Amino acid sequence: MPRGARQKSENSTYHIMSRSISEIDLFKSEEDKSYYLHLLKRYNEKYHCKIYAYSLMDNHVHLYINPCGYDISKYMLSLNTAYVSYFNRKHHRHGHLFQGRYASKIVDTDAYSLTLSAYIHNNAKDLPQYAGREQAYPYSSYGIYTGERKDTYKIVDTQYLLRPFSKDKQKARQKYAAFVASVIGTEPLKNIDEDISKAYTNNTYHSEKQSLIRYKDVNGLIKRVEHILKEPTNISLRTKHNRGTSKIRAFITYVMRVLCDVSYKELCQYIGNMSMSGVTRLTQEGFRLIQEEQKYKKAFAALT
């Protein structure tokens, strides 16, 4: 029987759960969990997405994610593929690690959003050493919300969930912690457990979350870049071995990949006379430029 199409919307936030196959844990050590968080940081920055909550347990992961208009399936494919590659290499194995497709549910109301975050942050209650002090679990975002732990990887947007509780950050943290504790064992949390394993709703949720502009037309994007940089990027894109245009080529290749969702194969055809590995290096250089050079950082911000 063919599997059903995944419910997606470019304006949605998602509850994601990934589980390992039954005979092996997803994480064998703290080092594995730390590496997974490192990957979350990498792909959040690469695709400009936001994480609102996470919990890494031995055999599964919960994420509350806002892909900011990026395709959630492609984000998860990048994340899970990179982790499996690391895990198999480190633990000298091969083959599948995840149990089928990840489960996803669109978050469609304010109430569900807050309850979901409490559900994710209460996961550590099943660990004897953290029962009653779930915020101390180092591989959950809960301690970041309560202020007891720093966001070492800088991957969590806490303002989105704390804002409804109070404008004062300390009061918001206290009220949020009280809310999370108050819903332990309640029906709404049990319902989330059931929801994540069922067919998912088509409803979307619009709130104060931020989304990037994602372009459907490559030529329109290139014209926009030309206007911002005041340089003929279309010519630069196809000019090889020119130091004067190499940065522009890298920048435009990266934004085509991220904002237009152009595949590496399509980029090879568009640029012309370039290998897949060459295009990959260009996009990596483009990503570096918007992290390190003010000109390209401002240009990317203007695009989005």
For residues 87 and 61, what is the distance between their CA atoms, to the nearest angstrom? 15
What residue ranges do the domains of the chain occupy? 13-195, 218-303
Question: How large a percentage of the chain has pLDDT more than 90?
Answer: 46
Residue 304: Cβ within 10 Å count: 16
Mean pLDDT of 285-291: 82
Residues 6+ apart with CB under 8 A from 195: 15, 105
pLDDT band at 203 (very low <50, low <70, confident <90, very high): very low
Find out whether 240 and 273 touch, Cβ atoms under 8 Å: yes
pLDDT band at 88 (very low <50, low <70, confident <90, very high): very high
For residue 157, which amino acid is it?
D
Q: How far apart are alpha carbons 228 and 231 in whole angstroms?
A: 8
pLDDT reported for residue 213: 60
The pLDDT value recorded for residue 212 is 57
Q: How confident is the model at residue 286 (pLDDT cuts 50, 70, 90)?
A: confident
Q: CATH homologous superfamily of domain 13-195?
A: Transposase IS200-like (3.30.70.1290)
Integer Cα distance of 104 and 79 in angstroms:
15
Q: Beta partners for 140? A: 55
User: Is 60 exceeded by the pLDDT of residue 84?
Assistant: yes
Backbone angles phi, psi at 128, to 5 degrees: -50, -40
Dihedral, CA atoms, 296, 297, 302, 304, nearest 10 degrees? 110
CA-to-CA distance for 73 and 48, rounded, in angstroms? 15
Residue 290, pLDDT score: 79
Task: State the pLDDT confidence band at 231, using cuts at 50, 70 and 90.
Answer: confident
Question: How many angstroms separate the CA atoms of 130 and 118, rounded?
Answer: 15
What does the pLDDT read at residue 206?
A: 31
Q: What is the pLDDT of residues 239-261, one digit of tens each?
A: 554 454 678 888 888 888 878 77
pLDDT at 205 over 50: no
pLDDT at residue 150 is higher than 60: yes
- Tokens, residue 69: 């208009």
* CATH no. for 218-303: 1.10.1750
Question: Same topology for domains 13-195 and 218-303, yes or no?
Answer: no
Backbone angles phi, psi at 65, to 5 degrees: -130, 140
Task: Report the SS3 class of residue 276.
Answer: helix
| pLDDT attached to residue 233 | 58
Using 50, 70 and 90 to split pLDDT, how confident is the model at 232? low
Find all residues with CB under 8 Å of 73, minimum gap 6, and list them.
Answer: 6, 8
Task: Indicate the pTM of the whole model.
Answer: 0.69
- Percent helix, strand, coil in the chain, to 5, is 55, 10, 40
Dihedrals phi, psi of 50, to nearest 5 degrees: -130, 140
Could you read off the pLDDT of 259-283 as tens digits, one per residue?
877 777 788 777 776 787 787 788 8
Question: What is the band of 165 on the pLDDT scale with cuts at 50, 70, 90?
Answer: very high
